[in-house]
A and B are shown apart, each in its own frame.
Chain A
Amino acid sequence: MTARLFVLWVAVGIPLLWGVEKTLENALKLFQ
């Protein structure tokens, strides 16, 4: 159950973190 829980969170977490990183990259232009 714990492994399945981990896989589930990773499955949704990776795309979300990728999206946040890409957006932050863009947002930083505001302060350059």
Chain B
Amino acid sequence: MSSFLDRAHTIAPPGYNRFMVPPAALAVHLSIGQAYAFSTFNLPLTKLIGITKSAPDDWTLNQVIWIFSIAIAFLGASAAVFGRWVETAGPRKAMFTAALCFSGGFLISAVGIHLHQLWLLYLGYGALGGCGLGIGYISPVSTLIKWFPDRPGMATGMAIMGFGGGALIAAPLSVYLMSFFATATSVGVLETFITMGVLYFIFMMIGVYAVRVPAPGWKPEGWVAPVEPKKLVTTANVHVDVAWTTPQFWLLWAVLCMNVTAGIGVLGQASPMIQEMFGSRVTAATAGGFVGLLSIFNMAGRFFWASTSDYLGRRNTYMVFFLLGIALYALVPTTGQIGSITLFVAAFAIILSMYGGGFATIPAYLRDVFGTMHVGAIHGRLLTAWSVAGVLGPILVTYIRQYQIDSGVPKAQAYSVTMYIMCALLLVGFLCNLAMRAVSERYHHREPVPVRA
């Protein structure tokens, strides 16, 4: 088994079609993208004993929401810690490990539900599942970049699009499975967790089976590396341990953090926001539709913007994110004042497409700046920006809204200040992106790059 998983046994034979790799990556990302739909389990998990309503011994919502938060924290941490291992072990072993962790997380959580021990859910889905998310997220990135040196943005965009799309599958699937397994004595979550653990393991095995790394020195037929690369694009490599001592790493860290903070806060508050800004014109059901629409734009933006960045350049693409983002966030309070739901929805659809686009474009940006040698590991460390943004974004949106309401501002206008703060965050991101320069030669890796596919 170990030899099947080894990097040496995943080298593509001659004639291998490189377009086999994106669906392999998608199989993993579509699975782990389930994390974005975990909230569908929150309420049922608070009714495990009471079934129709929470009993006194049931877990509270405040206890349950920590499962997702722990998973996201472990995503960032494991991507940072295991990034180098993923590079050396190869994508197949990394994907297999991710599948074991992610599915194992579901199964341990199912045991936790059976025994009604919440710590087992924190440990299972939160810690172990979170490691599966982190390792799975970065596992195909460097492989895709090596297979598609001519279109790195498009290739990584395709995979990371899966992480956005995973929620679109998991949300209706979870609801369907819970209703299928629900009985008079069970809300059906335990059985749903077991089923999803098994299903996702099988689905991720598609990726494990199909993924291949290119043979050393492989290039797409007829493709020649540009003789005069663009200003920020390097042909050299920077070691992962050196990369994070460069100003460029921290500038890109801030770029990602600001872009994600602005988007993630809105994503979490989208439903109450549209209802409060437009009052009785928007019901809970239509607000749910709005959230679904944002998820689609979040997913589509990942592919669209990352592919566009192959033509526009990475820095220019982020310039668009920040400048257009500032304009749109500044417009949002006006859409509320004039009562235009269409404009409001359009603004947030574009904002969320750029939120997803930011995630999908960053691996190619890292490859441009630090080379391909350790791009996966560097990407893993950069994802700590996501963990920070995951805390910062929702706190900013919810606390500022509450402060505004406590200060006597009507609910419909309680988000205006938040929107202007988002503009300020995007301005910081814009300035960091503007400051990006090529990495100094003194940081370049001097020793020969290990011959690894």
A residues near B, CB below 8 A? 1-2, 4-5, 8-9, 11-13, 15-16, 18-20, 22-24, 26-30, 32
Contacts of A32 in B (CB 8 A): 286
List A contacts of B149 (CB < 8 A).
Answer: none
Contacts A11-B206, A12-B27, A18-B169 given; does A26 touch B288 at CB 8 Å? yes
CA distance A28 to B24 in the complex (A): 31
Contacts A8-B24, A23-B168; A29 near B210 (Cβ below 8 A): no
Q: How far is the CA of A11 from the CA of B341 in the complex (A)?
A: 37
Contact A26-B289, Cβ < 8 Å, known A1-B15, A15-B169: yes
- Additional A-B contact list (20), CB under 8 Å, known A8-B206, A29-B288, A29-B289: A2-B17, A5-B20, A11-B23, A11-B206, A12-B23, A12-B30, A12-B162, A13-B23, A15-B169, A15-B203, A19-B165, A20-B165, A23-B172, A23-B295, A26-B292, A27-B292, A27-B296, A29-B286, A30-B289, A30-B293
Say what secondary structure dominates the interface of chain B: helix
B301-315, CB < 8 A from A? none
What residues of chain B have their CB less than 8 Å away from a CB belonging to chain A? 15-17, 19-20, 23-24, 26-27, 30, 162, 165, 167-173, 203, 206, 210, 285-286, 288-290, 292-293, 295-296, 299, 341, 345
Q: Which residues of B contact A24 (CB under 8 A)?
A: 292, 296
For the complex, give the distance between the alpha carbons of A32 and B288 in Å: 13
User: What are 26 A-to-B residue pairs whose CB atoms are below 8 Å?
Assistant: A1-B16, A2-B17, A4-B20, A5-B20, A8-B20, A8-B23, A8-B210, A9-B23, A12-B30, A15-B30, A15-B203, A16-B30, A16-B165, A16-B168, A19-B167, A19-B170, A22-B171, A23-B171, A23-B172, A23-B295, A23-B296, A26-B292, A29-B285, A29-B286, A30-B293, A32-B286
Of B15, B169, B285, B295, the most chain A CB neighbours within 10 A belong to B169
**A24, B315: Cα distance in complex, Å:** 32
Q: Which residues of A contact B30 (CB under 8 A)?
A: 12, 15-16
CA distance in complex: A4, B24 (Å)? 12
List the B residue with the shortest CB-CB distance to A15.
B169
Residues of A contacting B24 in the complex (Cβ-Cβ under 8 angstroms): 8
Assembled-state Cα–Cα distance A5/B206 (Å): 12
Residue among B15, B20, B293 with max Cβ neighbours from chain A (10 Å): B293
Give which listed residue, A12, A15, A28, contacts B289 with CB less than 8 A: A28
User: Within the assembled complex, what's the spacing in Å between the Cα atoms of A30 and B292?
Assistant: 10
Quick check: B27 and A1 within 8 Å, CB to CB? no
Q: Are A19 and B289 in contact (CB under 8 A)?
A: no
Alpha-carbon distance between A23 and B172 when the two chains are bound, in angstroms: 8
Residues of B within 8 A of A28 (CB): 289
Closest to A23 in B: B292
Which of A24, A30, A32 has the most C-beta atoms of chain B within 10 angstroms of its own C-beta? A30
Top 3 A-B residue pairs of the complex, sorted by shortest distance between their CB atoms: A19-B168, A19-B169, A30-B289
Bound form: Cα–Cα A6–B16 in Å: 14
